[in-house]
Amino acid sequence: MIKDTIVDGFHNAPHRSLYHALGLTDEEQSRPLIGIVSSYNEIVPGHKDLDKICEAVKLGVAMAGGTPIMFPAITVCDGIAMGHTGMKYSLVTRDLIADSTEAMVMAHGFDGLVMIPNCDKNVPGLLMASARLNIPTVFVSGGPMLAGRVGGKKRSLSSMFEAVGAYNAGKINECQLTEFEKKVCPTCGSCSGMYTANSMNCLTEVLGMGLKGNGTIPAVYSARIELAKHAGMQVMELVKKNIRPRDIMTKAAFKNAIAADMALGCSTNSMLHLPAIANECDVPFDLEEVNQISEVTPNICHLAPAGPTYMEDLYEAGGVYAVLKQLEDLGLIDTSVMTCTGKTMKENIADAKVMDADVIRSKETAFGQTGGIAVLKGNLAPDGCVVKRAAVAPEMLVHEGPAKVYESEEQAIAAIYAGKIVKGDVVVIRYEGPAGGPGMREMLSPTSAIAGMGLDKDVALITDGRFSGATRGASIGHVSPEAVSGGLIAYVKDGDRIAIDIPNYSIKLLVSDEEIAKRKAEMPIKKKEVSGYLKRYAAMVSSADKGAIINKK
């Protein structure tokens, strides 16, 4: 145990003196030291109540004979950061979180960890850290917020962004807009649809790093506090049995995560985060596998923004375990994998049942016979791009239209609000990739404006940036190579025809090779002047198809 090198022996008396400065008794110093990585803060709604989760985890650790010690992790609220420079600082925090957690653990010598994340980059950042550190670890998130209600219907944050577009188009008045503002986010927690935060919290369960209910128990339910106590107790079992993250997050576990992602209809951002986590586990992750798994995996859940159900409904319907049971019955997952319960997935889900067949459907009644996400390739994205197929209207699955090209998110939003986008258009937003942005901004504002104006069934959006999990419509992100790296997206011009065929995983710029060669000679690549952390990040980050990881060389 780590305490053997930091606490025991006469030569470690200075270390013990500092532990005594913390008020730790000899008895506490003799027990396994468990780091509680708390992402509590007062600016992110999903994290506002994590102090209560932290206290419950600490109690669970102490009840099981360990000594809990809390230290913090940062997080950015994507909703608050949306649509301005702040969004450049969202994805980049994933690596700050992983690096700072590594530093804290290695400097202070913990025997085990309980990670308490909740929001978009915080969850994958801590999963990356757990794989890198590879000491016994359990995750317990803060949980989703309850759905709001406006006009007798359940609503969420995506409804709010779309209401802005509707107001701009004159479809609702100021009073109605204010009602949305006051009601769509009624409690603390991660936003209530199958957006990125909830996608990653559910996939943490699938990967085997979170206990049952981690992804779906609402933040305000008392069951979430009980879950936190059990997480604290369970990490002590993992320490005793020496079960580590890399014993759990194997190649089979990641394939299970892709299958569950397809069934649940998760955020496209999972196609950035799963490769990054796999990279820390030294597990190969090929985007080609995504389409292979998608081809045989039915999309059995349609949570917001794809459909009218929310995380609270998924919880009541049986949660992630019920979805996994459905996939096991179809032979689509490997249930022999180890999990943080100390049992296999097969043992975990043995008694799982679907309690609401409208929320978690069967293969026969599925929303689609293929998965919720598709990776498209073609001359416009030879290394791939990603679309949330489950949230695309049937009439937009195959589309060809003229390009309207914008050099930034701000330019695109201004054009949308000015009424310059019309039915049939393909909006292209470039120089927003991992290095070109830098930071690969999430673009909920333009997609919501399109949807709010009633054009989501008529207009496609393509970018080397990324889209929010709250986005719906033919929104295609992660175009690789990105514009700043000389990808073909840098040479698209207004009026060019772009052909999208989601069922056949294809995206093409319908311009001759001769014309493309001419443009490459005439159109210079544009690079933005940035400073501080963003400058360092832009110099080191990989392309989106690799997970926008920080290159280790």
Catalytic annotation, residues: 468
Sign of CA dihedral 495, 496, 501, 502: negative
C-alpha distances out from residue 541 to 262, 281, 528, 547, Å: 27, 18, 15, 9
Helices 122-133, 196-207: inter-axial angle, 10-degree rounding? 30
Helical segments of 22-173, H only:
26-30, 50-63, 78-81, 93-108, 122-133, 157-168
Secondary structure (DSSP) of 427-457: EEE-S-STTTTTS--B-HHHHHHHHHTT-TT
Q: For residues 399 and 360, what is the distance between their CA atoms, to the nearest angstrom?
A: 30
Residues 195, 201, 202, CA angle at the centre, nearest 5°? 85
Burial string for 58-69 (b: 16+ CB within 10 Å, else e) reads bbbbbebebbbb
Cβ pair 546, 280 in contact under 8 A: no
Q: For residues 232 and 228, what is the distance between their CA atoms, to the nearest angstrom?
A: 6
Q: For residues 498 and 76, what is the distance between their CA atoms, to the nearest angstrom?
A: 35
- DSSP symbol at 10: G
Distance of CA 11 to the CA centre of its chain: 45
Closest CA to 146 of 196, 233, 221, 93: 221
Residue 405, SS3?
Answer: strand
Cβ pair 16, 7 in contact under 8 A: yes
